[in-house]
Amino acid sequence: MTATSLGAPVERREGRQKVTGAARYAAEYHLPGRAHAWPVPAPVARGRVTAVDTSAALALPGVLAVLTPDDAPRLAEPEDATLAVLQGPDVPHRGWCVALAVAETLEAARAAARAVRVTCAAEPHDVGLDPGHRDAYEPKETNAGYPGRVEHGDPQAAFAAAEVRVDTVYRVPPLHNHPMEPHTSTAHWDGDRLTVYTSSQGGTTVRSVLAQLFRLPEDTITVVSEHVGGGFGSKGTPRPDVVLAAMAARHTGRPVTLAYPRRSLPTTVGHRAPTVQRLRLGAHTDGRLTAVLHETTTHTSRVKAFVEQAAVPARVMYAAPALLSSHRVVPLDVPSPSWMRAPGEAPGMYALESAMDELADALGMDPVELRVRNDPECEPGSGKPFSSRHLVECLREGARRFGWAERDPRPRSRTEGPLLIGTGVAAATYPAAAVPATASARALPDGTFAVRINATDIGTGARTVLAQVAADALAVPVDRVGTEIGHSDLPPAWLAGGSMGTASWGWAVHEACAELASRLAAHTGPLPADGIETRADTAGRADADSPYARHAFGAHFAEVAVDSVTGETRVRRLLGIYAAGRILNARTARSQFTGAMTMGLGMALTEGSTLDPAFGDFTETDLASYHVPAHADVPAIEADWIDEEDPHLNPMGSKGIGEIGIVGTAAALGNAVHHATGIRFRHLPLTPDRILTGLLAGG
């Protein structure tokens, strides 16, 4: 019973609160006298605010204030320039916040925002992503600190000399995170003390950013993120909602809630930047790769440089004597891009794994076998050995479970009336990393334990899995461990992001509990009334350089039905098999895997956003036009994993699992569509307009 609780399918601790409606989210703190804020977006794509007429808005009943660039509280210059809201007249993109209405009620705030008259001096703008753009440049670093370019061997020459070649271009449109809870913060000042309830993936960062912006000591700021209605990267660091709410609360002397309107999210909270990716693969006729060239172009805003690291997976995946992985970025007058679930890997692996399928096609080789044949000894980009790599096992196990052997490899070989049926495979990878965190653990005289850490549960089940980690280290039943998270009074820890949350938090929890266990073993007699507490800080260990390349791997198998009448593509089956170290909670892990696969399904088939050339913002701004998958789109999705032991990771032996599920899903589906139709579509999403046009042209 005390052997281990790691891996057990323990039920979510906050589940009961969530299914009964008792769980409180950031807008749901009814502080006395609370007011509501509503943002006013810039009506031009580039230019300057020349006047903000607030008279009509202020004349409406219940309106308390309208903050403008002229009178909003002055902030210190933020490191993240997207947070410099209402600090000056410049408009870097359409939708940039140019005023904020504050009123007694939601209705009055909305009406007041509408009544604000903003006059802008517009300048010509450019939002068109083109690899040949004159402003395109190669960045030194991409997002997550990767070198912009890695080159080994002589890739151009190796490609030119290859016996079999694939040379293609794939396009992924802008994508939106759209967590179900919009970005929301409630802020309250008590003198110079600030409390915020915010929908964020990491309260520790929120606190340090607010401290810097408002020039306050960190210990005067309290940040609460008890329950968070999804983030998927877009709540990774503070977004304008928390800054504006704090400004409005200071300006009005009232607690203020700002819940961003859904339609404002695309321009405000970041998006997955579009990519244009050129893939060149050279191979021997036996399938061995001789050259891998992955060159990607993306955009960023004028506000900050964010480079989606789409070419990075090529440095991890396959053995080839010649490798080029490079990025170019074009600063445009677009809303600022940011993290969206598996930044880099999701779009990059769509392209690389589609190209691998094309190569298998060109070779007349099974796509599973092609990947197996090119499984590398060491990480191609770094030359480091892998701490563990079981991609081949994932592919084999997935193939077995999916019934891959019965597949007729010929495209368009299977039909059911007007339906074209196809299957596809793709591999997945995602880095397994950790960052330092602190935690405390306390043994209480009643035999229970209290674990405290400022972790965040954005839906992963962090409370539950951290209790399991603690119970395991303490060798006690998991129900004797209480976990407190989501509050900045707790020992600081990093955010729920980069698939690093559990590894980082769990490491600190494990250390605090292991230390506590030895203290208890040495302790004689009853515990003091307030128990015994230990604290851990993993700095120096969690962030230590590793001689190993550490990644999770996976394999995705998909079956689709393409309706030749309409071009509608619907998924029949999706299977994901993962090698992600030790799985810490079988129940919540499966949910994360299948959930990410569902987002990958959306990326492949339904989700697409368009930058409007004339207006400079996204055309698909709401959930009626930006199609996240609905129930009817999602059939049986299965996720499972192989047992993987990896001693080079962290004390739990776990790899992050929040993101790998999306990586490779889009390629598996795209490859299945090719198998179904015999046509290669290289521009996501695979909506009926594209598919039908392709079917008519090609077949």
Partner 1 sequence: MKSFGYLRPDSVQEAVEAYAAHPGARYLAGGTNLVDLMKLGVERPAVLIDVGRLPLDTIEELPDGSLRAGATVRNSDLAADPRVRDRYPALSQALLAGASGQLRNAATTGGNLLQRTRCPYFQDLDKPCNKREPGSGCSALDGVHRDHAVLGHSPHCIATQPSDMAVALAALDAQVELYGTEGTRRLPAAEFHRLPGEHPERDTWIRPGELITGVLLPAGTAGVPSAYRKARDRASYAFALASVAVVLRVADGVVDQAGIAFGGLAHRPWRARHAELALLGAHATPAAFEGAVDLELMHAEPLRDNAYKVSLAHNLALDVLNRLAPAPAAA
Partner 2 sequence: MTSANKPAPDSEITLRVNGKPHTLHIDNRRTLLDLLREDLGLTGSKKGCDHGQCGACTVLADGRRVNSCLLLAVALDGSEITTVEGLGGDGEEPHPLQRAFLDRDAFQCGYCTPGQICSAIGMIAEAAAGHPSQVTDPATPSGRPVPLDRSEIRERLSGNLCRCGAYPRIVEAVEDVIR
Regarding 11 and contact with partner 2 (CB under 8 A), the answer is yes
Residues 160-179 that bind partner 2 (CB under 8 A): 177-179
Q: Which of partner 2, partner 1, none interacts with 401 (beta carbon under 5 to 8 A by kind)?
A: none
The residue within the footprint of partner 1, chosen from 565, 636, 698, 699 (CB under 8 A), is 565
Give, in order, the Cα–Cα distances in Å from 525 to each of 77, 521, 522: 55, 11, 10
Residue 342's closest CA among 665, 578, 575? Answer: 665
Q: In this complex, which beta carbon is closest to partner 1, that of residue 508 or of residue 562?
A: 562
With binding defined as CB under 8 A, does residue 568 bind partner 1?
yes
**Least distance in angstroms from the C-beta of 673 to partner 2:** 20
Tell me if 611 sits within 8 A of 337, measured CB to CB. Answer: no
| Residue nearer to partner 1 on the CB measure, 110 or 149 | 110
Residue 459 as a binder of partner 2 (CB under 8 A): the answer is: yes
In the chain, the amino acid numbered 685 is P
Write down how long the chain is.
699
What does the alpha-carbon distance between residue 124 and residue 101 come to, in Å, rounded to a whole number? 28
Say how far apart CA 666 and CA 78 lie, in whole Å: 36
Give the other-Cβ count within 10 Å of 161's Cβ: 13
Size of the site for partner 1 (CB under 8 A): 38
Contact flags string 440-479 toward partner 1, x per CB under 8 A: ----------------------------------------
* Minimum CB distance to partner 1 smaller for 161 or for 630: 630
Structure token digits, residue 568: 């509608």
Verify binding: residue 688, partner 1, rule CB under 8 A: yes
Which of 598, 609, 650, 671 touches partner 2 by CB under 8 A? 598
> Nearer Cβ to partner 1, position 1 or 632?
632
594 binds partner 2 (CB under 8 A): yes
**Shortest distance (Å) from residue 353 CB to partner 1:** 23
* Catalytic residue (one of 295, 345, 397, 659): 659
The yes-or-no answer on residue 28 being catalytic is no
Residue 92 tokens read as: 């870097």
To which H or E segment does residue 426 belong? strand 419-431
How far is the C-alpha of 608 from the C-alpha of 602, rounded, in Å?
9
Nearer to partner 2, 22 or 51 (CB): 22
Binding of partner 2 by 458 (CB under 8 A) = yes
Alpha-carbon Rg of the chain, whole angstroms?
26
262's contact among partner 2, partner 1, none, with CB below 5 to 8 A by partner kind, is partner 2
Residues 517-556 that bind partner 2 (CB under 8 A): none
DSSP state of 174: -
Our finding on whether 207 is near partner 2 (CB under 8 A) is no
Put residue 122 in one of left, alpha, beta given phi > 0 → left and psi -120 to 50 → alpha.
beta
Please state the closest distance from residue 318 (CB atom) to partner 2, in A: 29
Helix, strand, coil % in the chain, rounded to nearest 5: 30, 25, 45
Nearer to partner 2, 57 or 332 (CB): 57
Q: In 3D, which of 510, 514, 656 has the Cα closest to residue 581?
A: 656
665 forms part of the interface with partner 1 (CB under 8 A): no
Number of residues that bind partner 2 (CB under 8 A): 62
Assess 632 for contact with partner 2 (CB under 8 A).
Answer: yes
Q: Which does 461 bind (CB under 5 to 8 A by kind): partner 1, partner 2, none?
A: partner 2
Q: What's the rounded Cα separation, in Å, for the pair 146 and 150?
A: 9
- State phi, psi for 94 to the nearest 5 degrees: -65, 140
Binding status of residue 625 toward partner 1 by CB under 8 A: yes
| Contact partners, residue 643, CB within 8 Å, separation at least 6 | none
Read off the tokens for 93. Answer: 């993109």
Q: What is the largest CA-CA distance in the chain?
A: 83
**Contact flag: residue 627 with partner 1 (CB under 8 A):** yes
Count other C-beta atoms under 10 Å from residue 132's C-beta.
8
Q: Which region, judged by CB under 8 A, interacts with partner 2, from 188-196, 271-279, 452-460, 511-519?
A: 452-460
d(CA 462, CA 453): 11
Choosing from 135, 696, 698, 699, the residue that interacts with partner 1 (CB under 8 A) is: 696
User: Does 565 sit near partner 2 (CB under 8 A)?
Assistant: no
Q: Considering the rule CB under 8 A, would residue 572 count as an interface residue with partner 2?
A: no
**Does 336 sit near partner 2 (CB under 8 A)?**
no
Which residues between 43 and 82 bind partner 1 (CB under 8 A)?
43, 61
CB of 59 to partner 2, least distance (A): 15
- CB nearer partner 2, residue 445 or residue 635: 635
| Minimum separation from the CB atom of position 172 to partner 2 (A) | 19
Site for partner 2 in 26-55 (CB under 8 A): 27-28, 30
CA distance 363 to 522: 66
* C-alpha neighbours within 13 Å on the C-beta side of residue 181: 25
State the binding partner of 606 from partner 2, partner 1, none, CB within 5 to 8 A by kind.
partner 1
Asked if 275 and 347 touch (Cβ cutoff 8 Å), the reply is yes
60 lines the binding site for partner 2 (CB under 8 A): no
Instruction: Give SS3 for 478.
Output: helix
Please give the full DSSP string across 533-600, using - where no structure is assigned. EEEEE-TTTTT---SSEEEEEEEEEEEEEEETTT--EEEEEEEEEEE-B--SBHHHHHHHHHHHHHHH
Q: Which of residues 223-252 bind partner 2 (CB under 8 A)?
A: 227-230, 232
CA distance 572 to 690: 20
CB 345 within 8 A of CB 659: yes
- What span, in angstroms and rounded, lies between the C-alpha atoms of 536 and 439? 5
The C-alpha atoms of residue 52 and residue 47 are separated, in whole angstroms, by 14
Q: Return the residue of 139, 174, 182, 380 that touches partner 2, per CB under 8 A.
A: 182
Residues 591 and 593: their CA atoms lie apart, in Å, by 5
Among partner 1, partner 2, none, partner that 598 touches (CB below 5 to 8 angstroms by kind): partner 2
In angstroms, the CA 582 to CA 526 distance is 36
Tokens of 617: 């913002």
How big is the CA angle at 541 (ends 391 and 488), to the nearest 5 degrees?
100
Partner whose binding site includes residue 114, from partner 1, partner 2, none (CB under 5 to 8 Å by kind):
partner 1
Q: Which is nearer to partner 1, 288 or 572 (CB)?
A: 572
Answer whether the bond into residue 651 is a cis peptide, omega within 30°: no
Task: Tell which one of 612, 647, 698, 699 touches partner 1 (CB under 8 A).
Answer: 612
Q: Does 271 bind partner 2 (CB under 8 A)?
A: no
Give the DSSP H or E segment for 518: helix 501-522
Bridge partners of 640, per DSSP, are: 577
> Which residue, 92 or 179, is less far from partner 2 as judged by CB?
179
HSE-CB for 673 with a 13 A CA cutoff: 33
Question: Residue from 199, 257, 621, 654 that binds partner 1 (CB under 8 A)?
Answer: 621
Closest distance of CB 411 from partner 1, Å: 21
Q: Can you name the residues that pair with 289 across neighbouring β-strands? A: 283
Q: Does 124 bind partner 1 (CB under 8 A)?
A: no
- Report, in Å, the least distance between residue 18 CB and partner 2: 3
111 contributes a contact to partner 1 by CB under 8 A: yes
To partner 2, the closest distance from the beta carbon of 60 in angstroms equals 11
Residues in contact with partner 2 by CB under 8 A are 11-12, 14-25, 27-28, 30, 105-107, 111, 177-182, 227-230, 232, 259, 261-262, 458-461, 587-588, 590-592, 594-599, 622-624, 628-632, 634-637
- Residues with catalytic function: 659
Residues in contact with partner 1 by CB under 8 A are 41, 43, 61, 107, 110-111, 114, 418, 565-568, 570, 606, 610, 612-615, 619-621, 624-625, 627, 629-633, 685, 687-690, 692-693, 696
